Amino acid sequence: MIQLINLTKHYGNLAAVDDLNIEVPAGQIFGFLGPNGAGKTTTIRTMMGILKPTSGQVLLGQHDMLREPEKAKAICGFIPDRPFIYEKLSGHEFLEFVGKLHRVETTRLKDRIAEMLQLLELTSWKDELVESYSHGMKQRLVVCAALVHQPRILIIDEPMVGMDPKGARTLKDLFRALAANGTTIFLSTHSIAVAEEICHRIGIIQKGRLIACGTMAEIHRQASPADGSLESVFLELTRDQERDNDHP
């Protein structure tokens, strides 16, 4: 469903994403982990067609993001790390706008908005201007917007930032339910606990390169952590890579 083929993105001489090859089949939650500045957000922005890759390909549901951007975006929902919402629009108006951009038919859109607002507990706030929402409410509204057109692929950059435990739980349950229904989820996160809890497969990126990829068990085999936690695996792998880079 998602294929990144030799994806490379350079900023001048810096390779922010370096020859990335990832494949995520339908219905799978793929966790994308890495330290700060590793290239996670650049990868995601390139996947969504916001950045043009220096080379390589992004295929979303067989659609090449460069050649058929409209078709590729039509089946995607995107939750950016720093989402923008029009502050002077009400929550309902914002969802209506995004739904129409995705060409959702009017009656279906109405039902869908009501359903999403209910699910993320925003119904009573739907007619309030976004400027009066709390941070967590804005996050939930962005999730509604990403799902309003029932995308087959969901691309998420740091979803739990600023969420309270209840909101985080709702989101995790939602992602699991979506994946069970066939939605493919590409989830970039700092939170190892989140990755461990909901992801079927994990990729670890450092300095633009994929240094490990596979199921939890496969990742464990690649490192020899002191304890069995993913956190130790992550620290072990990223430390090894640092050492290799410092002493080639």
Partner 1 sequence: MTSIALLLSPVWLSWKNSFFRGRSSWTRRLLLGFFALLFWLGTYIVIRRVLRYFETVYDLGPALAYQLLLIILLTFLSMLLFSNLVASLSTFFLAADLDLVHGTPVSHGSFFYARLINTTINSSWMVLFFSLPIFAAYGSVFGGGVTLYFLVAVILPLFLVIPAAIGILITHLLVYCLPARRIRDILFFIGLIAFVVMYFLFRFSQPERLVQPESFGSFINFLGAMETPSSPFLPSSWSAEILAGTLFSRDTAQGFFFALLSSYALFLPVAASWVSGAVYLEGWSKAQESRQGRRKHDWPDRILNVLTRPFSPILRALMVKDVKTFLRDTTQWSQLFLLVALIVVYLYNFKVLPLDRSPMPAGVIRTIVSFANLALAGFVLSAVAIRFAFPAVSLEGKAFWILQSSPMSLGALLWSKFWLNFVPLLLLGELLVFLSNLLLQVPAWMMILSLVTMGLMTFGIAAIGVGLGALYPNFNFENAAEIPTSFGGAVCMIFSVAFIALAVMIEAWPIYALTMRTLYRGTVTTPELSLIVPSLLIVLALTIVAVALSLRLGLKNLESMKEL
Cβ proximity to partner 1: between 115 and 128 the closer is: 128
Q: What is the closest distance, in whole angstroms, from the C-beta atom of residue 66 to partner 1 in the complex?
A: 8
Which residues partner with 59 through β-bridges? 3, 64
Residue owning tokens 């951009």: 101
In the complex, the residues that contact partner 1 under the rule CB under 8 A are: 11-12, 45, 48-52, 69-74, 76, 78, 80, 83-90, 93, 97-98, 100-103, 129, 131
In the complex, the smallest distance separating the C-beta of residue 150 from partner 1, rounded to whole angstroms, is 14
Cβ burial of 224 (10 Å; 0-12, 13-18, 19+) is: exposed
Nearer Cβ to partner 1, position 131 or 173?
A: 131
Of 149 and 201, the one with the shorter C-beta distance to partner 1 is 149
Q: How far is the CB of 50 from partner 1 (least distance, A)?
A: 5
- DSSP H helices, 181-229, are 192-198, 216-222
Cβ–Cβ under 8 Å, residues 33 and 204: yes
Least Å distance between CB 85 and partner 1? 8
For residues 23 and 168, give the distance between their C-alpha atoms in angstroms, rounded to a whole number.
27
User: Quick one: 11 or 218, whose CB is closer to partner 1?
Assistant: 11
Q: How far is the CB of 201 from partner 1 (least distance, A)?
A: 24
- Comparing CB distances to partner 1, the nearer of 31 and 151 is 151
Burial (0-12, 13-18, 19+ Cβ within 10 Å), 55: exposed
Q: At what angle do helices 91-101 and 106-119 cross, to 10 degrees?
A: 130
